[in-house]
Structures are given as structure tokens and as C-alpha cells.
Chain A
Amino acid sequence: MRNQLATELLFSLSQPGRRGALYPAADVPVKPLEELIPKSALATEPTGLPEVTESDVIRHFVNLSTLNMCVDTHFYPLGSCTMKYNPKRHERLASLPGIVDLHPYQNPSDLQGMFELLYETQEMLAEISGLPAVSLQPAAGAQGEFTALLTAKAYFEDRGEKRTKVLFPNSAHGTNPASAAIAGFDCVQLASSKAGLVDLEDLKAHLDDQTAVFMVTNPNTLGLFEKDIKQIAQMVHDAGGLVYIDGANMNAILGITRPGDFGGDMMHYNVHKTFTGPHGAGGPGSGPIAVRDFLAEFLPGPVIKRNETASADEDRYVLEMPAKSIGRVRTFYGNIGILVRGYLYLRTLGAKGLKAVSENAVLNANYLKAILKDVLPVPNGDLCMHEFVASASKIKSQNGITAMDIAKRLLDFGFHAPTVYFPLVVPEAIMVEPTETESKETLDAFAEALRTILKEDPAFLHLAPHSTNICRPDEVVAARNPILQCCEPQ
């Protein structure tokens, strides 16, 4: 049975005078606080923090943690997020003292092992992308986008070109226009074709000498490979612009094709997605970027170089700031903890293993799509890549069941909900990304749950979930009249 008392707010559990520890009497002279701390810095009222015992706190947080759905407890087909299993072996290795006890201010000579690991990570990411220069600095995918756009901006400025526009299709991740706007570009949204791909005519109509960058996710957010990507890249290059590949969906193409081979000039990785950093609830991320050689001198730094001719008493790995670097975008060397896990994953799987990852991710998505197609139609594309976007639009018009109802009800069946209402180009979108680590049995069970749900009473579904600690929050009231506070009202 769930302990519902323990998951009340700690403020509600609070009892005056209750505490976790009793301190022994002081064995040093006691002075009044007023003599030790300036009056201006002293609080005039009690802080209002909850007063609870140690066991109250432990039960509270342990019980709360069991309410969470995570990839270690549930199938987690959250489209666009690549919630694949995180190997526990890598967690153990990443926790070794030689890694976690390093300090970035140590002498570089004492950090050679870590630098070697980071250098090899740079090299592997360059190989996988087909883009030779890598910066590990960005702390997440969106920061990678932003960093690459600043890199592109520095490149154009260096050439004396004033290009102001960044183009992206209307299926793009919201971070694309957000990154472009923060980097100081004007955002231009393009239409998608009926097939759910970049509309070449619309692209052509918007390309001009003001175009700095065309941002595209490939495979795109509909889980479809942009089959015209080479032609698209040629069109952008002919207009003097650069092609940015949003690498959020790299899980579909590892070892099969490379952004650098299909015309990309810059890209970011999501190490926390594609290469198994444990993620969810916003972090921790790692978003290295890879770029063509002519952009390398603008990358943020430091980047790690290997001195092939180093003598025995010289450092083999050295830090270098690229000649015209845009500067640092994060402290030290990036999100090391996640980069280490990414390195371990890449080394464990190797080239063949990575290819198998993508093959199985694509196979799993297509299998699930195929066994669900009679109840949950997918508007765009016959074959998908690592994810597919179904639409509950028809179901909604027939019996009022929405994508949201289906997603919420799945929680009752012990499945994390897929992404819903994204991408915006598909009405009542349900975006499913099973990942490569799920078995056929899991996929079958998920499909069965969906079939069962679609036969249920719509009124019952509108109120789902029914088994979770908190049922359906009223998002509209919460958004219209938010009650924001950090403490219980007095």
C-alpha cells in the first residue's frame, strides 16, 4: 500500500518543536547571536521551515521517489527525448574516485587521463558526425544550438557578411527559433510539405543573401528522414548560408549516415539522450557541437589537442583556445559527468554496436507503429525512423477522446506517457519513441494497453489517471490563476 501520509508536504507534516537531532550542550563559551552577527543580517521572524524528524524526511522523500516514473521502473516512450536505458556499469565506472575526485583547477599535468578521455570523445563525435571539429563545452542541446549559431555569426562577421536570418521548418523543436532569437537572428518559419518534410518551394522562396543558417532536424520531429537533405543543403549553400543539423534524433542514424555527409555544416549532440546520460526533469545535459573545418577557429574553448611529438616530460594533451574563438560558453570543460558516460557508452558499443542501436531503435518504432496502425493512425510516412507521430484527431472527432486522455490513462497501465501535442503540425499528436532497449513483449504490452484504453468510456478517460497520487490537474486554472509560493500560507 502506498504511504499517503508520508507524501504530504513537509510543511503539513511539521509539528512545533519536532526535530531530527538533539545537540549536546556546548563545551565552549556561549555568546548571544547579536554579538556574533550584525543586526542587519539577523532574521526578525522564524524562518517557517518545517519541523520534522529524520524518519519523517526519509519516508517523505523515499515515498515520493516511488511515485516517479523513470526508465528504471517503466517503459518510457517519450518522443523526441530518447529515454533509453542507462547502463548501470557506466554509472559505476563514472563514479570511480579517479574521475569524481578530480578538480578542474588541478594542474593540467595531473588531469592528463581526463583530457585523454575528453580528447577521444571529441574524436569519436567527429567521426560519428562527419564533421571534424568538436567543442564539448555546451551543457545541453539547446545551448549547443545557441553556441553553433554564435559560431556561425562569428564566421560571417569575419568574412564581412551581414546575414540576419535563421530559417527552420514549422516542425522544428521550439529550441531552434529560441536559440536563433537569443543569438540575435531574425527567425523565419517555413512550411512543411504534405508528406511532412521540408517544403522545398517554400525554402527556395525564403533563401537569400540575408540567410545565415537553415536549421533542420534529421530525421525530423515526425520521425521521417528528410530524403531531400542533400538538395536542401545545396540550396542553402548556393545562397551562401550554413546548414545546422539538430542532432536530437541522432539515435536513428548512428553509423548509418552522417550529418557531414548529407550536407550539414554544424550540429549538436544530446549526449544525455543518444549516449545514455541519465536524464529527465531537465537534466543534466550535455550538448557538444561538431562543425566543418572552416568553422573550427570560431568554436568556444578550450578544446583539447593531442601533442603527437610530446617528449616524456611534456603533457601529451593540452588545452587550446581556437584562434578566433567566441569564448567560453560554460565553466571549465563542459558537463564532464555526462561526457564520461557518453564516452563509456561509445567505447562499450563501438562502431558496430552503435549501428545496431539505430537499427533496433528504428525497428522497434516501426514494429509498434505497424501493430497500432488500425487504432492509432500515423498521418505522415509509411516507414518511420526511431519514432513516429500518430494522431488522435479522428478518435477525438468520433468520441471525444483526446491525445491528452490517452496519455494520462497510460499511466494507470504502468506506462510513461508518450509526448503529446508536439510537433504542432500534427493535430492531437502522440509522439512515440520506444528506443532500442525495449523488448517485443514490452512493445506488445504497450500496444495492448492502448487498444484497451481506446475501448474505454470517454467520460472515464477524461478524468484519468485514476491510480496516481495526483489525478488530473486542472492545467487551465493552474495557468490562469497560478498560486506561486514557497511556503505554506500562514
Chain B
Amino acid sequence: MDQSNLKFTKTHEWVSVEGEIATVGITDFAVNQLTDLVFIELPQVGSTCEAGKVFGEVESVKAVSDLYSPVSGEITEVNEALVDDQSPLSDDPFGKGWITKVKISNASELEQFMNADDYHKFCESEAH
């Protein structure tokens, strides 16, 4: 999967932006660390999210982890299919495993994130 259009956070979320809509998910590294996911809690469509604040949670057999929103804005869509079947988060985290779509209220928030290369370096330093 081409990750060159994606931006990454230190808390292992990814964002891709088209116009004023940001699609948000969690990375393969995050899923690998958490092991198989068994539960996801999604926000309500129409609710607002704030950069750096929790917008949902995922649970694996190992741990429960918060999902941190990379951007502020209004949730316009959530990937409801993940509630019944979390496997896309593992099998296709950058595609079918997307979690939310957000109408961005502050585009300047996007500037702080890492590109794919920097993110992979960051993960290597995290893993050891």
C-alpha cells in the first residue's frame, strides 16, 4: 500500500486528507503491537473531535488502548463495519480498516505530523 500520501502521529494514527475531509486510521505497527483486535468503540457521526484527544478505543486480548484524534473537527462518517468485524484493522489498516472521516476545522494541525519515512524510523526506535 502506498503510504506516501499519509501523515502519521506519534500515537500511531494515520491521516489522509482530501479537500477538507481527513480519513483517520491506526497503523500496521499499532495493530501489530496490540495483537489481534477484538473490540472497537467508535464516536458518533456528527460529534466533534479535538486534536490529541481521545475519540474512541480499541481492545485486543492484551490491552485496551485509546484512539487519539490527529485533527480537530466534526466526525462525518465512521466505519461501522469494524464494530462487527475488526479484521480489516489487521488485514488492511490503511484501506478498509479506516476508522473515521473528519471535516477538518483547523488545517494547520496537519503540519506537525510525520511522513511515512520518518514514521518508520520512529517505530524502529520505539520497538527497541
Please report A residues at the B interface, Cβ cutoff 8 Å. Answer: 379, 393-394, 397, 421, 424, 427, 475-476, 479-480
Contacts and interface: CB of A to CB of B under 8 A. Distances in A.
Contacts of B127: 393, 397, 427
Nearest to A393: B127
A479 B61 contact: yes
22 contacts: A379-B128, A393-B127, A393-B128, A394-B128, A397-B127, A421-B62, A421-B63, A424-B63, A427-B33, A427-B126, A427-B127, A475-B36, A476-B36, A476-B38, A476-B61, A479-B38, A479-B39, A479-B59, A479-B61, A480-B38, A480-B39, A480-B86
Interface string B54-96: 0000010111000000000000000000000010000000000
Contacts of B39: 479-480
Nearest to A397: B127
Contacts of B33: 427
A475 B61 contact: yes
A427 B62 CA distance: 11
Given A475-B61, A476-B38, A479-B39, 11 more contacts: A393-B128, A397-B127, A424-B63, A427-B33, A427-B126, A427-B127, A476-B61, A479-B38, A479-B59, A480-B38, A480-B86
Most chain A beta carbons < 10 A, residue from B59, B86, B128: B128
A52 B38 CA distance: 38
Nearest to A377: B128
Question: Which 4 pairs of residues, A with B, have the shortest CB-CB distance?
Answer: A479-B38, A475-B61, A476-B36, A421-B62
A475 B38 CA distance: 9
Contacts of A424: 63
For this complex, into which size category does the number of interface residues on chain B fall?
Answer: 10 to 19
Contacts of B59: 479
A479 B61 CA distance: 7
B43 to A, nearest CB: 18
B63 to A, nearest CB: 6
Contacts of A476: 36, 38, 61
Contacts of B61: 475-476, 479
A162 B33 CA distance: 38
A394 B33 CA distance: 13
Contacts of A479: 38-39, 59, 61
* A interface SS class: helix
Nearest to A476: B36
Contacts of B128: 379, 393-394
A476 B36 CA distance: 7
Contacts of B62: 421
Interface in B29-47: 33, 36, 38-39
B7 to A, nearest CB: 21
Nearest to A391: B128
Contacts of B36: 475-476
Interface string B107-128: 0000000000000000000111
A234 to B, nearest CB: 28
Contacts of A379: 128
A480 B36 CA distance: 10
A24 to B, nearest CB: 53
B120 to A, nearest CB: 15
A404 to B, nearest CB: 8
B42 to A, nearest CB: 16
Contacts of B63: 421, 424
Contacts of A393: 127-128
Nearest to B126: A427
A480 B128 CA distance: 31
B84 to A, nearest CB: 9
B41 to A, nearest CB: 14
B33 to A, nearest CB: 6
Nearest to A475: B61
Contacts of B126: 427
Nearest to B85: A480
A52 to B, nearest CB: 34
Nearest to A424: B63
A424 B35 CA distance: 13
A103 to B, nearest CB: 42
B91 to A, nearest CB: 14
Contacts of B38: 476, 479-480
A476 B86 CA distance: 11
B64 to A, nearest CB: 8
A31 B59 CA distance: 56
Nearest to A427: B127
A397 B63 CA distance: 21
A379 B126 CA distance: 11
Contacts of A421: 62-63
Nearest to B87: A480
A424 B63 CA distance: 8
B110 to A, nearest CB: 23
Contacts of A394: 128
A379 B62 CA distance: 20
A480 B86 CA distance: 9
A479 B34 CA distance: 14
A3 B21 CA distance: 63
A214 to B, nearest CB: 20
A393 B33 CA distance: 10
Contacts of A427: 33, 126-127
Most chain A beta carbons < 10 A, residue from B33, B59, B62, B63: B62
A160 to B, nearest CB: 29
B53 to A, nearest CB: 11
Nearest to A402: B35
